[in-house]
Amino acid sequence: MKNPSNSLAAITQPTPQTLALSCAWTARRIGEIGMPGAQFEALSVPEKSEMIVDGAGIEALDTAGAWVLNKLLHQLRSKGAGVQLQGLRRKRRRLAAHCERNPDTHAGLMRRLHPDSGMGCHKII
Query: Which of these, 67, 61, 70, lies nearest to 123 by C-alpha position?
Result: 61
- Reported in sequence order, the residue ranges of 1-125 that DSSP labels E, i.e. its strands, are 10-15, 18-25, 50-61, 82-86
Write down all domains in the chain, each with its CATH number in brackets: 10-112 (3.30.750.24)
pLDDT tens, residue by residue, 66-77: 988 988 898 889
pTM: 0.76
Helix (H, G, I), strand (E, B) or coil at 40: helix
pLDDT tens, residue by residue, 34-45: 654 556 667 788
- Report how far residue 96's alpha carbon sits from residue 21's, in angstroms, rounded to the nearest whole number: 14
